[in-house]
Amino acid sequence: MTEPPLSFGARLALAFACFFRVLFDGRYAARVSAAAASAPALPAPEPEPEAAEPNVEPALQLLALLQREGSLVDFLQQDVSEFGDADVGAAARAVHDRCARALSRQARLIPIVTEEEGATLTLEAGFDSAAIKLTGNVRGAPPYRGVVRHRGWRAESFELPRVVGEGDAHIVAPAELEL
Amino acid sequence: MSAARFVVGIDLGTTHTALASAELDDPAARPRIFAVPQLVARGAVEARALLPSFIYFAADGEGPLPLPWDSARSFAVGEYARARGAESPARVISSAKSWLSHGGIDRRAPALPPNAPEDVERISPVEASWRYLDHLSEAWQAAPESTGEPLGDQELILAVPASFDAAARDLTVEAAYAAGLENVTLLEEPQAALYAWLAAMGEGWRDALRVGDVVLVIDIGGGTTDFSAIAALERAGELELRRVAVGDHILLGGDNMDLALAHQARARLEAKGHELDRWQLHALTFAARAAKERLLGDPSLERVPVAVPGRGSRLVGSTLSDELTREDVTRVLLDGFFPEVAATARPAARARTALTQLGLPYASDAAITKHLASFLARQAGATQELPGFEASTGALLHPTAVLFNGGVTKSPLVRERLLSTLNRWLAEDGAGAVRALADTDADLAVARGAAYYGLVRRGRGLRIRGGTARAYYVGIESPMPAVPGLQPPVNALCVAPFGMDEGTDAELPPIELGVVVGEPVSFRFFSSTVRRDDRAGTELERWSADELVELSPIELTLPAEGRAEGDVVPVRLDARVTPVGTLLLEAVPLEPRVADERWKLELSVRET
């Protein structure tokens, strides 16, 4: 099978997308490398290796980012029970403000359903059951008709900074020593 | 050098740098913003549309600050450098551009960061600028969309404030050369903003601009405010745009407004008994900026809380909070920076100290409307000699349209205040109201517009003409009997008239100057943004204080070439505007010893 050639613009966009995905996604990189090695036969997607250890580094990176930008870890690690609402509120505001900014820069989050919460929605057979969770009086086969209780979130895009150098990902926030 | 494949526009801003590019071979090309990879935290690189114009020098013990293309780097440019500015300010350079245009210092001397500890090797304002450009160059080269073609091989347009004088323009080009960017042309930022508007309008500009229009560009950046007037006239049946006036260099911008609001909140926090350290003040300024953007952006909002986290890991209980209100914004920002003054108001000359950083000649009056009134009054005659324009009958230049640029002007309140003030002045002066041109993306318009100008130069759009925005003069002592205690009066000899186009020469003025062979001779140097009619050779005996501005002196050393040291050699000064857009002043000996003997005058000499 021969695909028609892509336009330059499409190639540029693809090259750009591939560049970052190859950088951040080891498995994808391995597939690209394999594809480049045996160009004519595109290998079928390999079966997922069984029960590989999850790679926690990107998660730690995100944690570090939210701590760096908005002190999220500080906030969550502190016992707030001894403080009044005013103190918690003030801190929450500082954290919220900065974390919200950081999150909106890294991720594009959109609601999964366009209907407002409280509106009714009918789902036909074949709806994406991972994207829409049925609750309440669930019975029988679709179509299902119900009230939207939560619009859901989908990360349309998500980017993490590229890691450079030999940092220790487990350092979520460095200690600070003022000289 | 291979042929350029892209035209690249660079906005080398006081607080942010941005780059846009367009492919030259693609007839449908539109400038695209290049996301600049930069260190955003230790060990984390991200590509962002804006590269903060900050440099951080790591201490020895801190280890390297690697980039994808350099694992051993000991300094950082961009977001991480800016963040370090709060934590370790003595190792961070900011506002290098303001230092670059500061005529009172030697801009090639290593002076930055101003309060650096001994282990930091200081660099000059010129070098700081080239490091930003160098970062762009390296980032470009490493990025996939450049396809590995060096930035230096592309056609580069570098935007500079219209208010930059010849020396600041020269130094900017010097920084570009040092970064290996030699194929560069300068473009005034307000023109770049108008080009961005033209690019965004497509063919629609024909409905939005008419012959007889005068577009006032109000460009309020992070650190500087820049005014320009661009007239639309008819020439051979076609509309032609001509930049007819530029304003003075005003070191005043959005950052001053953030600081003013932060100080407002700080005063209230301190009244409640909280002491803020430097780090907290920085955090407060950050919060004030966010609050400012929300309050200025949404007129229905009454108050925005600001919170300053404590230093340690115990956040709850140590976070200070205050709120900024509509009243703060009205009083501190609108009435402080955009007061509704009369058209006759002028900026106060006395230096204020409250909000300024040591060393830079910040505007002494924060009222942007006063600076604007002053600009319109000084430039009242800017259009009177244009074909089709009537001589002004009023006291002000009469713009018919306004184009806003710069982050602060995104606010409808700021635009509304500027427009209503402007329209009141115009009505009092017997002129019609202005209309606002459609917005462009105020943060990225200059880079985009600069790239678009590269396409326009190839005949793909309407070009703004106008030549140099200033006339230049050297000071000549007029012969008179010596009077003890009295400086001999100085006449100003025009060497470069107003409106010289790139790549042209001024005629040689008839006046000869005597230059001593073998020793540096320094001349006082002046410029004027209002004296449009002086020709090369015009000699002024007196002028009013706001007509001519004294710049750093210029210097010339005439090598002997067979003449005796100490001899006085008669020369004439030849002015030329290079294709790059810089002013070149050369001394031409009347009796040359070698063919085509001419000696370059150094423009950017330290004030003595």
Backbone angles phi, psi at B488, to 5 degrees: -60, 140
Burial grade of B191 (CB within 10 A; 0-12, 13-18, 19 or more)? buried
Q: Which residues of B touch A78 (CB under 8 A)?
A: 313-316
The answer to whether B17 and B8 have CB atoms below 8 angstroms apart is no
Q: Is the per-residue pLDDT at A27 higher than 80?
A: no
The pair of structure tokens assigned to B446 is 């200059």
A52 to chain B, closest Cα gap in Å: 26
Q: Collapse the DSSP code of B553 into the 3-class scheme (helix H, G, I; strand E, B; otherwise coil) and give the result.
A: strand
Percent of residues in chain A assigned helix, strand, coil, to nearest 5: 40, 10, 50
Mean pLDDT lowest for which of A52-56, A141-145, B246-250, B604-608?
A: B604-608
What is the average pLDDT score of chain A?
A: 80
| pLDDT at site A37 | 53
Q: Is the pTM of this model over 0.90?
A: no
What is the pLDDT at residue B344? 93
Minimal CA separation from B5 to chain A, in Å:
14
- Is the CB of A63 inside 8 Å of chain B's CB atoms? no
Residue A66 corresponds to which tokens in the numbers above?
């939210």
**Nearest CB to A16 within list B145, B307, B309:** B145
Paired sense of beta strands B55-57 and B16-23, if any: unpaired
Cβ pair A75:B71 closer than 8 A: no
* Distance between CA atoms of residues A99 and A124, nearest Å: 37
**Higher local confidence (pLDDT), B400 or B311:** B400
B559 vs B469 pLDDT, higher one? B469
Contact B64, A165 (CB under 8 A): yes
Cα–Cα dist B116/B112, whole Å: 7
H-helix or E-strand containing B446?
helix B445-456
Name the pLDDT band for B442 (thresholds 50, 70, 90).
confident
Collapsing DSSP to helix, strand or coil, B427 comes out as helix
Interface contact B41-A164, CB threshold 8 A: no
Task: For residues B91-120, give the mean pLDDT.
Answer: 85
Q: What is the pLDDT of residue B114?
A: 81
Band the pLDDT of B459: cuts 50, 70, 90: confident
Q: What's the rounded mean pLDDT across residues B386-403?
A: 87
Contact B525/B551 with Cβ under 8 angstroms? yes
Are A90 and B320 in contact (CB < 8 Å)? yes
pLDDT at A17 over 60: no
B358 pLDDT exceeds 50?
A: no
- Could you say which of B43, B46, B287 has the minimum Cβ distance to residue A167? B43
State yes or no: pLDDT of A7 exceeds 80.
Answer: no
pLDDT of residue A49: 57
pLDDT for the residue numbered A1:
40
Are B204 and B176 spatial neighbours (Cβ–Cβ below 8 Å)?
A: no
Overall average pLDDT of the A134-148 stretch: 88
Q: Do B68 and A164 touch (CB under 8 A)?
A: yes
Question: With an 8 Å Cβ cutoff, is B42 touching chain A?
Answer: yes
Residue B594's nearest CA partner among B562, B551, B568 is: B562
Q: For residues A65 and B44, what is the distance between their CA atoms, to the nearest angstrom? A: 9
**pLDDT score recorded for residue B229:** 96
Lookup result for tokens 């336009």: A7
User: Can you give the pLDDT at residue B147?
Assistant: 75
CA atoms within 13 A on the CB side of B15: 18
CB contact, 8 Å: B505 with chain A?
Answer: no
Percent of chain B with pLDDT over 90: 41
What angle separates helix B278-297 from helix B79-87, to the nearest 10 degrees?
130
Query: Nearest CA to CA, how far is B61 from chain A (Å)?
Result: 13
Question: Nearest CA to CA, how far is B468 from chain A (Å)?
Answer: 39
Is A91 in Cβ contact with B316 (below 8 Å)?
yes
Tens digits of per-residue pLDDT, A63-117? 999 999 889 999 999 998 989 998 898 889 889 988 999 999 999 999 999 999 9
Nearest to B553 by CA among B497, B598, B600, B604: B604
Closest Cα in chain A, distance from residue B291 (Å): 10
Chain A residues in contact with B87 (beta carbon < 8 A): 176
Strands B6-12 and B155-160: parallel
pLDDT tops 60 at residue B158: yes
What is the DSSP code string of B59-70? PGGG----BTTB
Q: Does A165 touch chain B (CB under 8 A)?
A: yes
pLDDT over threshold 60, residue B204 = yes
Lowest mean pLDDT across A26-35, B35-44, B143-152: A26-35
Interface probe, candidates A83, A97, A159, chain B, greatest B C-beta count within 10 A: A97
pLDDT confidence of residue B85 = 81
Band of residue B595 on the pLDDT scale cut at 50, 70, 90: confident
Whether residue B351 is predicted with pLDDT greater than 50 in this model: the reply is: no
Nearest CA-CA distance, residue A21 and chain B, Å: 13
Mutation target vs B (from A164, A170, A178; most B CBs, 10 A cutoff)? A164
The radius of gyration of chain A from alpha carbons, rounded to an integer in Å, stands at 23
Give the distance from residue B294's alpha carbon to the nearest chain A alpha carbon, in angstroms.
12
Residue that wins the pLDDT comparison between B171 and B115: B171
Mean pLDDT of chain B: 87
Find the residue in A nearest to B44 (Cα): A163
Instruction: Please check whether residue B66 touches A, CB under 8 A.
Output: yes
Residue B434: pLDDT band with limits 50, 70, 90: very high
pLDDT greater than 80 at residue B343: yes
- Provide, as residue numbers in chain B, all residues whose Cβ is less than 8 Å from the Cβ of A95: 309, 315
- At A9 the pLDDT is 55
The residue among B283 and A108 whose pLDDT is bigger is A108
The stretches of B320-433 forming alpha helices (DSSP H) are: 326-328, 335-337, 368-378, 412-428
Percent of chain B predicted with pLDDT > 70: 95
User: Which of A31-45, B478-492, B567-581 has the highest average model confidence (pLDDT)?
Assistant: B567-581
Residues of B in contact with A167 (CB under 8 A): 42-43
Q: Is the pLDDT of residue B58 over 60?
A: yes
Tokens of residue B533, six digits: 């009619």
Given a cut of 50, whether residue B274 has pLDDT beyond it is yes
Alpha-carbon distance of B18 to B445, in angstroms, equals 9
Q: Is A91 on the interface with B (CB under 8 A)?
A: yes
Q: Over 50: is that where the pLDDT of B353 sits?
A: no
Q: Output the furthest CA–CA distance in chain A (Å, rounded).
A: 68
Whether B501 has a pLDDT exceeding 70, the answer reads yes
B419 has pLDDT over 50: yes
Range scoring the smallest mean pLDDT among B299-313, B355-369, B419-433, B502-516: B355-369
Asked if B144 and A15 come within 8 Å (Cβ–Cβ), the reply is yes
